[in-house]
Amino acid sequence: MELSTFGRRFSTRAGILTLMDDLGAALAAGDKIMLGGGNPAYIPAIQNYFRVRMHRIMDGNGDFERLIGDYSSPGGHIRFRRALASMLRRQFGWELTENNIALTNGSQSAFFYLFNMFGGRFSDGSIKKIMLPLAPEYIGYADVGIDGDIFTSNQPKIEFLNDNLFKYHVDFDRVKIGPDIGAICVSRPTNPTGNVLTGDEVSRLSRLAAEHQIPFILDNAYGTPFPDIIFTQAEPVWNENVILSMSLSKFGLPGMRCGIVIASEPVIGILSGMNAIFNLSPSAMGAVLAEEMIQSGEIIELSRNVIRPFYYDKSQRACDLLRRLLQGLDCHIHLPEGAIFLWLWMRDLPISSQELYERLKARNVIIVPGHYFFPGLKDDWRHRQECIRITFAQDDLMVERGFKIIAEEVAKAYREAKSS
């Protein structure tokens, strides 16, 4: 079978494909400890809300028929977009309307659109890159470029903290914005590390983008105001030069694939056109399920009072457990400031993160090896082979069992190197 350049581009074994294959296999088998995927937890209060909402949709008032029988507009479900624009105006004073909002079939498709809008080959023959100011960054970015590798990124500054914790910071001395940069992008909180860029870091990056007349793309999948899985001070950010990506997945609707992009009207117009070409229109299921809580603002209250405390408590328990299990080893955990992961750095680990992944998989524990999370980083930095991403969103007993096996394999790797 002969493939086009486009076909060959997506026939390679991408990191995100491995991750999702592992997730699907683990769910199907039921015998694996899945600490690798980004699946949110089943939070009873959130699931009950959507169960009740689903019953109301089904109760014969015509919502069900419209949901399954009508296309949305290319920009996505209009009532949802209007409700969201109204809520954001009330809560934050943002001057926007539904014309500043587009829905996509999940955030992953939104980033496929956005990165190829601002990165890749231009009409004058030039190639522009998406600047990731610090790596590690989200595994799902790495392989979306139609023109291949469209990213450039930088090593972070590392701040060592007490209790075997550390934190990444943007090294602004390394952030160089030239004519070959088409956009700046960060996730906040960062997937995989749980890092939350400071307000000063976000302001400086936003100013840099504006000065160079390029967009600042802010991936807010775990951030504020919803699902608000963020454990430190962070204010929502948006202006006409910011492209803010949000999602309903981590609020509890990953199966609905409802991504949300908030941007200037010209950007939203292009995204809507892409929706029409690739999908006709995005799915309305997630938007219809969440519409009432967006209209009332209840989504913010549930995020603040249910989702955030739930994950904060899990993050603290998981971090304390992992520290105890790895005591005496040169291992450090990124300060958990948000999201649903711990990022473990095993300094001078004598095996690669991929080999550690294989050893753990053989014991039915699935994690994600760290080297996948450094798209665009050209430096030969050993650090990327010394880290792994672990989710704490699963059942506490499953997390404990998995963490014990991880600690055993890490200690074994250090022991083997010492004795050889």
Question: Per-residue DSSP letters for 294-317?
Answer: HHHTHHHHHIIIIIHHHHHHHHHH
Band (pLDDT 50/70/90 cuts) for residue 14 is low
Name the residue with higher pLDDT: 323 or 17. Answer: 323
Per-residue confidence at 8, pLDDT binned at 50, 70, 90?
Answer: confident
pLDDT beyond 80 at 26: no
* pLDDT at position 177 over 80: yes
User: Which of 228, 233, 289, 237 shows the shortest CA–CA distance to 258?
Assistant: 289
Distance of alpha carbon 348 from alpha carbon 27, whole angstroms: 33
Please give the domain boundaries of the chain with CATH numbers for all domains. Answer: 5-42+307-419 (3.90.1150.10), 72-301 (3.40.640.10)
pLDDT at 29 over 70: no
As given in the structure block, the two tokens for residue 408 are 């055993």
Beta strand segments in 133-213, E? 151-153, 157-160, 165-169, 181-187
- pLDDT at res. 95: 95
* Residue whose C-alpha is closest to residue 207's, from 248, 170, 234, 157: 170
pLDDT score of 19 more than 70: no
Beta bridge partners of 187: 219
Does position 12 have pLDDT exceeding 70, yes or no?
no
Q: Which residues contact 41 (CB under 8 A, 6 or more apart)?
A: 310, 311, 314, 340, 393, 394
Maximum Cα–Cα distance across the chain: 72
The span from the CA of 281 to the CA of 71, in Å, is 6
Please state whether beta strands 387-391 and 341-346 pair in parallel, antiparallel, or not at all (unpaired): antiparallel
In the block, tokens 């299990």 appear at 325
- pLDDT average, residue stretch 315-326: 98
Confidence band of 355 (pLDDT split at 50, 70, 90): very high
- CB neighbours (10 Å) of residue 418? 8
Instruction: Taking residues 218-240, report their average pLDDT.
Output: 96
Task: Quote the pLDDT of residue 30.
Answer: 66
